[in-house]
Structure 1
Amino acid sequence: MSKLPMDVITDVLYRLPVKTLIRFKSLSKPCCSLIDDPDFIRAHLNRSLQTRSNLNIILKGLHLYSVEFDALDVAVPLDCPLSFGACTDAFGSCNGLLAIHMSDKNVALYNPSTRQLRRLPVSEIDPPRGESCKAGYVFFGFGQDFRTNDYKVVRMAQFKKDEDDEGHSFDYEVKVYSLKNDSWRKITKLPFYLRFMFQFFYHLLHRRGYGVFAAGVLHWVMPPRMELGFFRNKIVGFDLGTEEFTEVPQPECADRGFLLDVSVLEGCLCAVCNYDQVKVDVWVMEEYGVKESWTRLLSIQKTRAVNPLTFSKPLAYSKYLDRVLLEVNDHKFVWYDLQKKKMRSVKIGDSIGTFGAEVYVGSLIPIEDRKRAESQKQTQQDELSLRKGNRKMRDDFLSQGFKLVL
């Protein structure tokens, strides 16, 4: 190793998976320092994203499972330290970090590759003052603020009147957690339409209440509400940089009688238009925020193997960009060939039945609380110094108290 140039060693390390890099940290101090260096961590992540390597798929059923993207063969239980046998769900993925939760108060960020876990401080849901209402459905979202290089969790809590059993929206509370600050902040500037967004039949199915992260913005869909005068689908965005809500333009489809979903492909926002469970069009916004940049990527029809076509979600491109992996009807994967315009089913071993899917890339991004770690380290050093001082006092006392006088 000492005879190899450092740039050669670095180039080799860039190509390795995270678990191998963690083992290699024990080779030498220079290797450990290199692998822990923020510039190396960032470059390793960028290379993985550019080459579509170190990708994995999280299957979300009663528990979490992981599948290697290159193999797509076996689902392996994901050992998550947040829970012990309890139901844990993942509501977002960004740069190798998973946002997971067991309840509204038990939320954490987790890096499956390094097994680092960061529990979020508990933030209570506070109903509006002077109103007789209670918390209803809770939305979650997770992504990165590119301006400050911070990771943020968004929680939108819907309120409803105590006697309202149909889930009509009453008001919302929106809070944002910052990983850098390790704290929650309440968002007070909320658009009026937000209180009408939740729909029971839509957001509870297929985990549609989880925000889709693309271009620094989390996205949700507000389906048509005929009784309220909203006749079209609306894509609602929350900018993690400005921490403000915005309306995102959707593609102009010839037939507007469709059910809309949103997804993401390699950082680009996707719109999935489902026409009566018979046909699905997937559109990609190539330049974020520009309506004219919407381009139809693919169109699929129901088949004997997929009938009806109730739900579909694009997950990732193949290494050579000639195919797209789709999650279909919450229980199967298919490869869609962009040239031949055909689908092929993918069978995963140790199937878990019904599931949702999330793509994550293996990374070394740290999420440990440095202040807490430094405080613990200082406390340990103080305790060690105190023990040494006590030991010295004891030794001095013994040497003086039991010294023999000849």
Structure 2
Amino acid sequence: MSKFPFDVLTDTFYRLPVKTLLRFRALSKPFCSLIDRPDFIKNHLKYSLSTKSNLVLILKGLHLYTADLDSLDEATPFSDDHPESIWGGTEVFGSCNGLLALSNSDQDIVLFNPSTRKLFNLPVELIERPNDSCIRGFVFFGFGYDHVNDDYKVVRMVRFKQDEDDNNGWFSEYEVKVFSLKTSSWRRIKKLPNYLSFMFQFYFHLMHRRGYGVYVCGVLHWVLPRRPELGVSNLIVAFDLVAEEFKVLPQPDYGDNERDFVLDVGVLEGRLCVILNYDQVKVDVWMMKEYGVKETWSKLFSIERSKSISSFRFLKPLAYLKECGDGDDSEKILLDVNGEKLVWYEWKRKRLKTVRIKGAPDSFGAFMCVESLIPLIDEKKQQKQEKNRNHYRKKRDDFLSKGFKLVL
């Protein structure tokens, strides 16, 4: 192997799945050193994203399950080697670059790499009430990547209310905090826009992704649903993870039908989508081809209720696939319907095909995840901390052995 060109070896390794690379780490020190290099980890991820390889579907039921996107034939649970911090009540609120963001409660938050089985527990950050009369209400979460600072961030928005029975969110107060994995610390966002006061709507955020932000292009997105009683129209609320500021994203020109649908957001092929649900009977999906540019919104497809789908309580685009062969090209999208069924939809032919995955839970949350080697902690920092701990233990043991020597 010493005579094998290093650049050819590296280029070959970029094409290998994570499980194979993890096994190769044990073959030799040069292999281990190469695979652990930060630039190799980033380029391996970049190759996987550009070629749409190493993609897996994460299903969250009673446990976490994975299914290979290329086959979708069987769901494999993590139950045999679950970290202790992941259990049946754990929610998945984000997926980015091979990392999953999980919550056991409002303050018990975990980042997890399912490919390497590495896990990081975020430091507990208490929720601060604006005043003694405020009651903690709904909590919004989001997770994504700050590409400028090479940092992964968790956003937690807590909505407070004055009355226990107030589920409508009348002029609510908010606390917004951001966790930085790079600094392993939380900071509070003090500059909050007025429209956040109208953001919460009980039934909408209970049904639509439970208020979890959608990550696209370094920005997290939530929907502020239409509130006709307050004169508030549908808004796409965006939080820039680099600037750590809120903004409102432009929407397509829907025409005269804006009052006839419920709006939601999603992501497909790394691009932002809006999902228009017309009374659970019909759904339109639009895509923003160039992020932030209103003129690049285009209607992707429409899908109507059928015999196999009685209603659209919820629809989420997951993955796009183009198949070529024998002069018969087909383009189809994997959809999560109502958190109960996965279907491939060929929008040009308007055909639906139910996906049956052996071992999958009956109801689930579905997330796309790319397998990656992204670490959750700085290995050098971890080694230094371990060295300091070992040094401390040795000094302690030496002190105890000398200080408490028995004299016979």
Taking structure 2 as the reference length, the TM-score comes to: 0.91
1:268 aligns with 2:260: no
Cα distance in structure 2, aligned partners of 1:122 and 1:382 = 26
The equivalent of 1:196 in structure 2 is 198
Relative to structure 1, the CA distance from residue 313 to residue 86 in structure 2 (aligned partners, 3 Å threshold; closer, same or farther) is: closer
Q: Is the 8 A contact 2:94 2:142 kept in 1?
A: yes
Q: Is the 8 A contact 2:218 2:240 kept in 1?
A: yes
- For structure 1, which runs of at least 5 residues remain unmatched after alignment? 394-406
Relative to structure 1, the CA distance from residue 372 to residue 195 in structure 2 (aligned partners, 3 Å threshold; closer, same or farther) is: farther
The equivalent of 2:370 in structure 1 is 361
1:171 aligns with 2:181: no
Deviates more, 1:162-171 or 1:148-157: 162-171
Cα distance in structure 1, aligned partners of 2:338 and 2:106 = 27
- Shift of residue 207 of structure 1? 2.1
**Secondary structure, aligned partner of 2:265:** strand
The equivalent of 2:64 in structure 1 is 64
- Shift of residue 88 of structure 1? 0.9
Deviations 1:262-307 (A, max 9, x none): 0111221110111111211111101111111101111111110011
1:376 aligns with 2:377: no
1:324 aligns with 2:305: no
**Secondary structure, aligned partner of 1:83:** coil
Once the two structures are superposed, the pairs formed by residues 238-387 of structure 1 within 5 Å of their partners are 238-254=239-255, 255-256=257-258, 257-318=260-321, 322-370=331-379, 371-381=381-391, 383-384=393-394
The equivalent of 2:221 in structure 1 is 219
Q: Is the 8 A contact 1:263 1:313 kept in 2?
A: yes
Q: Is the 8 A contact 1:91 1:210 kept in 2?
A: yes
**Secondary structure, aligned partner of 2:377:** coil
Deviations 1:225-249 (A, max 9, x none): 111111x311100111111111111
Cα distance in structure 2, aligned partners of 1:260 and 1:166 = 19
Give, as a single letter, the amino acid of the residue that structure 2 aligns with 1:220: W
The equivalent of 1:404 in structure 2 is none
Cα distance in structure 2, aligned partners of 1:32 and 1:5 = 17
Relative to structure 1, the CA distance from residue 372 to residue 42 in structure 2 (aligned partners, 3 Å threshold; closer, same or farther) is: closer
- Shift of residue 351 of structure 1? 2.8
**Secondary structure, aligned partner of 2:211:** coil
Q: Is the 8 A contact 1:116 1:368 kept in 2?
A: no
Q: Is the 8 A contact 1:158 1:173 kept in 2?
A: yes
**Secondary structure, aligned partner of 1:32:** helix
**Secondary structure, aligned partner of 1:318:** strand
- Shift of residue 64 of structure 1? 1.7
**Matched length:** 392
Q: Is the 8 A contact 2:320 2:333 kept in 1?
A: yes
Once the two structures are superposed, the pairs formed by residues 52-131 of structure 1 within 5 Å of their partners are 52-78=52-78, 79-83=81-85, 85-129=87-131, 131=132
Deviations 1:337-391 (A, max 9, x none): 2443322111111131111111110000111255354212222145458879999
Give, as a single letter, the amino acid of the residue that structure 1 aligns with 2:281: V
Give, as a single letter, the amino acid of the residue that structure 1 aligns with 2:268: L
Cα distance in structure 2, aligned partners of 1:32 and 1:373 = 16
- Shift of residue 165 of structure 1? 4.0
Identity of aligned residues (%): 55
Q: Is the 8 A contact 1:206 1:330 kept in 2?
A: no
Give, as a single letter, the amino acid of the residue that structure 1 aligns with 2:274: A
Relative to structure 1, the CA distance from residue 123 to residue 84 in structure 2 (aligned partners, 3 Å threshold; closer, same or farther) is: closer
Taking structure 1 as the reference length, the TM-score comes to: 0.91
> Whose Rg is larger?
1
Cα distance in structure 1, aligned partners of 2:242 and 2:73 = 38
- Shift of residue 5 of structure 1? 1.9
Cα distance in structure 2, aligned partners of 1:372 and 1:155 = 27
Cα distance in structure 1, aligned partners of 2:210 and 2:14 = 35
Deviations 1:213-235 (A, max 9, x none): 001110000111111111x3111
Give, as a single letter, the amino acid of the residue that structure 2 aligns with 1:378: N
- For structure 2, which runs of at least 5 residues remain unmatched after alignment? 324-329, 403-408
**Secondary structure, aligned partner of 2:42:** helix
Q: Is the 8 A contact 2:169 2:199 kept in 1?
A: no
Give, as a single letter, the amino acid of the residue that structure 2 aligns with 1:252: D
RMSD of aligned Cα (Å): 2.2
Cα distance in structure 2, aligned partners of 1:359 and 1:44 = 18
